[in-house]
Amino acid sequence: MNAAVQSITWQGLTLAFVPTLIVLAIMWRWSAGVGKGIYATARMLAQLLLIGYVLVFIFETGEPGVVLGVLGFMLVVSSWIAMQPLQNKSPRVYRNAFISISVSGVLTLALVSQVVIGIEPWFDPRYLIPLAGMIFAGAMTTISLAGERVQAEVARGVSYPEARRIALQTALIPMINSLFAVGLVSLPGMMTGQILSGVSPMVAAKYQIIVMSMLFGVTGMSAAMFLYLEQGDLKRAL
């Protein structure tokens, strides 16, 4: 299966917003916050178009320094976002989130990109940046869930070992549910995209197995590392 990727015209892209306009009309009619819906849609459009142009530039430069700079920026931003749902947003918490995402994320990215897939050259942004995005985003979300839950449990007087156990279990629920559902309830975006681009379904399935395994690993490791780093002074911070 080597069919060329079906090109999408700007006219076709515009028509894709018809369902969005219907929902916005309903939100307006029911006074359900249409302004927020319009803002979210406009922001999504601007962000994706911008990242499209940025990635074109990055892919064409072929400079490892540029790719590493992008990965560093992603780590800084993901660590900042991870701590936003938390009650305690001190620099110490940001440090712990950054260390957890960096260590678990970089190790997982190196294993998958350099050993499992074996990309050439090692910094190929077409592989490295999308993989890093999935890895860092998974770690970011899990740390948010784990951090919010452990802070809540400790605040109500639960011992830290028990709070840590509850927080880790809670943080991994979305990932474990995804493992159960993949291929039965949902067909993941990466696999769908590869099939639409003409890749063999078996090849797409192998890549998706890699993705699910790396996400389960990085989410668990990042949450565990964050909870370990928080153990020393969480009670005092609260």
Q: What is the pLDDT of residues 133-185, one digit of tens each?
A: 999 999 999 999 999 999 899 889 899 999 999 999 999 999 999 999 887 77
What type of residue sits at position 140?
M
Q: Which SS3 state, helix, strand or coil, does residue 136 take?
A: helix
**Cα–Cα distance measured from residue 64 to residue 124, given in angstroms and rounded to the nearest whole number:** 8
Residue 195: predicted pLDDT: 79
Residue 183: predicted pLDDT: 79
Q: Which of 49-63, 105-119, 181-195 has the highest mean pLDDT?
A: 105-119
**Cα–Cα distance measured from residue 231 to residue 238, given in angstroms and rounded to the nearest whole number:** 12
Q: CA angle at residue 227 from 224 to 230, to 5 degrees?
A: 150
Tokens at 103, concatenated: 């260590």
Residue 5: predicted pLDDT: 58
**Cα–Cα distance measured from residue 154 to residue 175, given in angstroms and rounded to the nearest whole number:** 24
> In this predicted model, what pLDDT tens digit does every residue of 76-97 receive, in sequence order?
999 999 998 888 888 999 999 9
pLDDT at 4 over 60: no
| Residue percentage of the chain with pLDDT more than 70 | 95
CB 219 within 8 A of CB 178: no
CB 109 within 8 A of CB 210: no
Residue 6: predicted pLDDT: 65
pLDDT at 233 over 70: no
pLDDT at 32 over 80: yes
> In this predicted model, what pLDDT tens digit does every residue of 111-140 receive, in sequence order?
999 999 999 999 999 899 999 999 999 999
CB 131 within 8 A of CB 116: no
How many residues are there in the chain?
A: 238
**Cα–Cα distance measured from residue 148 to residue 84, given in angstroms and rounded to the nearest whole number:** 9
Residue 27: predicted pLDDT: 95
**Cα–Cα distance measured from residue 186 to residue 230, given in angstroms and rounded to the nearest whole number:** 35
CB 104 within 8 A of CB 37: no
